[in-house]
Chains A and B, each alone.
Chain A
């Protein structure tokens, strides 16, 4: 039993990589993940990545922001200390619109960013987990879990056929740990 945990196929062309994904899928080899230094169109559909649920989080944060500021202003301006401003009613709905709008956007923006950080383990100060450093530079990488039942030689051959410029057998999952 080899110590290899992950097999990485490094490509220098996104089209070759897409071709590689197809090849692996045709041979029923499960792909662990794909890393790319730039967005590749249509790759989510090909890999069957589930659609992001970030939008729902954004919606919830927006609602939260709106209710928080509405409650604060309602409490201070209407309930606790009603004031006569320009002869307007004590519960002036139009006045509530601008900051409800602003806080909705503020909470949506921050909430969405934080959710994204949480979901992708990307907190500031944390060392990013990368399988190969060149995935952030000029290599397109397909990662395959080596613990499967497929012989490693077959995977190597498939990747080579697809045009991989380099194939790595890694004993550690990530090259960087925090």
Chain B
């Protein structure tokens, strides 16, 4: 092992990053309080709920992406990544908290109702998932009976919805924590015993994950527009989740390296991560376009409604900007081999992708939840204002704080007895 490698190195979480992440969390809390208390108008509460859902979904997805990353590294028996696995492991340890936050936000949004008038009928609609969770939608005797929603009530009812959500999140969390535990045990005991167990868990997780993640995305995000559906939506979300997760892993690694930790993570490791980020950005575009193209071509009203809403003046610019940030930017910035080896370039691209996928989720969520007054085009600050910024900053701070404190609890920054560690330390491409 090289002289630059101290495999017993431990991460110490302190200093500026700790202060700033705590400040960011406070900003987020203030933003939520502002949205709920200081301006308790219907639209402000609605907006706060939408933003909370956006960010808690984003947060959970990033942690799930870390478990996903860990799993396919184990299943592929990848050697190159062994020395950086502690970081996704730390993110996997954050997943339980992210899952609880997501469930709390969803339950709160689902059971807090307000009075709205839809097509002349007064109804008590919840702030989130109003399109299917409003009372009476599935009751033929009710004034607001909706046969389409009634037909979907087998999946879209509160019990199935929450049941599936909990089931999926628990499955992902348990797999993630098991992978972390096996890796810690491996450091204690050595040998192949724990590695083989990780391999098994990774295989089982990926099998479950592949089938359930699309349903998870259908439930959490697509059902906000409950009349509309797209079978591509799950893969679209999978791609978004994976790209944003990788971008965050890259940013964390660049930060840790700059601070003098994990010096064994070289340009070659970052190059690999850059390739994954680049490739899955292309995949994201492929799925995005696949969904758009089929709907555009078939031109069926019940399908085009999704894009119709997103082509209203208030969303059209952001709808196209989404493609620029998540497709053109990584395509042009990361295409050449050398670009993936430039730390500054990777950093910029990762930041663009993180913002881009925030916008991506924004475009998925907001048109389904926010209802501006008829004929009123909202101002920029009504779309991107205090709530959006502060809640995004708050969750960002939470992710940094929780991930880095989870990372500092590992006894070493490298899985010492990982069978492929030596390969990873000498990784060269």
Contact = CB atoms under 8 A, between A and B. Distances in A.
Interface residues of B, number: 10
A42 B428 contact: yes
Interface residues of A, number: 11
Q: Give the interface centre of A59, A88, A94 by most chain B CB atoms within 10 Å.
A: A94
A89 to B, nearest CB: 11
A94 B428 CA distance: 41
Given A42-B428, A55-B336, A55-B337, A94 B296 contact: yes
B292 interface: yes
A51 to B, nearest CB: 8
Contacts of A94: 289, 292-293, 296-297
Interface string B275-293: 0000000000000010011
B297 A86 contact: yes
Contacts of A86: 297, 299
A98 B293 contact: yes
A98 B290 CA distance: 9
Contacts of B293: 94, 97-98
A168 B81 CA distance: 42
A74 B20 CA distance: 55
Interface in B370-429: 428
A27 to B, nearest CB: 27
A88 B296 CA distance: 9
Nearest to A41: B428
Contacts of A98: 293
Interface string A56-68: 0001000000000
Contacts of B289: 94, 97
Interface string A66-88: 00000000000000000000111
Contacts of A95: 297
A92 to B, nearest CB: 9
Contacts of A41: 428
A114 B428 CA distance: 27
A42 B336 CA distance: 20
Nearest to B296: A94
A55 B334 CA distance: 13
A42 to B, nearest CB: 6
18 contacts: A41-B428, A42-B428, A55-B336, A55-B337, A59-B335, A86-B297, A86-B299, A87-B299, A88-B297, A94-B289, A94-B292, A94-B293, A94-B296, A94-B297, A95-B297, A97-B289, A97-B293, A98-B293
- CB-based closest 6 A-B pairs: A41-B428, A94-B293, A94-B296, A42-B428, A55-B337, A97-B289
Given A41-B428, A94-B297, 16 more contacts: A42-B428, A55-B336, A55-B337, A59-B335, A86-B297, A86-B299, A87-B299, A88-B297, A94-B289, A94-B292, A94-B293, A94-B296, A95-B297, A97-B289, A97-B293, A98-B293
